Amino acid sequence: MGALSNTEREAVERASAEPMLEQVEAWAAVNSGSRNLAGLETTAAMLADAFSALPCELVLEAAAPVESVDAAGRKIPLEHGRNLHLTVRPNAPVQLLFTGHMDTVYGPDHPFQELSWLDDGILGGPGVADMKGGIAVMLAALKAVESIDEQHIGYEVVINSDEEVGSLGSAALLARAARGKRAALTYEPAALPDGTLAGARPGSGNFDFTIHGRSAHAGRNPEDGRNALVAAAELAIRLKDGMGPRLSVNPARIDGGSPNNVVPDLAVLRVNVRPATLDDQARAQSLIDSSVAMVAANHEVTIQVHGHFARPPKPVTPAIETLFGIVRQAGADLGQSIDWKPTGGVCDGNNIAACGVPVIDTMGVRGGKIHSPEEYLIVESLKERAALSALTILRLAEDA
State the SS3 of 258-309. CCCCECCCEEEEEEEEEECCHHHHHHHHHHHHHHHHHHHHHHCCEEEEEEEE
pLDDT band at 11 (very low <50, low <70, confident <90, very high): very high
The mean of the pLDDT values for the chain is: 97
pLDDT exceeds 70 at position 1: no
pLDDT exceeds 80 at position 399: no
Q: What per-residue confidence (pLDDT) applies to 250? A: 97
pLDDT tens-digit series, residues 180-211? 999 999 999 999 999 999 999 999 999 999 99
- Percent residues over pLDDT 70 in the chain: 99
pLDDT exceeds 70 at position 303: yes
Q: What per-residue confidence (pLDDT) applies to 149? A: 80
Q: What per-residue confidence (pLDDT) applies to 394? A: 97
Q: What per-residue confidence (pLDDT) applies to 71? A: 96
Q: What per-residue confidence (pLDDT) applies to 150? A: 79
CB 236 within 8 A of CB 251: yes
pLDDT tens-digit series, residues 215-248? 999 999 999 999 999 999 999 999 999 999 999 9
pLDDT exceeds 60 at position 259: yes
pLDDT band at 3 (very low <50, low <70, confident <90, very high): confident
Q: What per-residue confidence (pLDDT) applies to 398? A: 85
Q: How far apart are CA 15 and CA 391, in angstroms?
A: 9
* Average pLDDT over every residue of 115-119: 97
Q: What per-residue confidence (pLDDT) applies to 400? A: 63
pLDDT exceeds 60 at position 358: yes
Taking CB atoms within 8 Å and a gap of at least 24, the contacts of 268-271 are 268/69, 268/71, 268/72, 268/73, 268/208, 268/209, 268/210, 268/211, 268/232, 269/208, 269/209, 269/211, 269/232, 269/235, 269/236, 270/206, 270/207, 270/208, 271/206, 271/207, 271/209, 271/236, 271/239
pLDDT tens-digit series, residues 25-62? 999 999 999 999 999 999 999 999 999 999 999 999 99
Topology of domain 204-310 in CATH is Alpha-Beta Plaits (3.30.70)
pLDDT exceeds 90 at position 334: yes
Report domain extents, the chain: 6-201+314-399, 204-310
pLDDT exceeds 70 at position 305: yes
Supply the CATH classification number for the domain 6-201+314-399: 3.40.630.10
CB 348 within 8 A of CB 361: yes
pLDDT band at 2 (very low <50, low <70, confident <90, very high): low
pLDDT exceeds 80 at position 64: yes
pLDDT tens-digit series, residues 83-95? 999 999 999 999 9
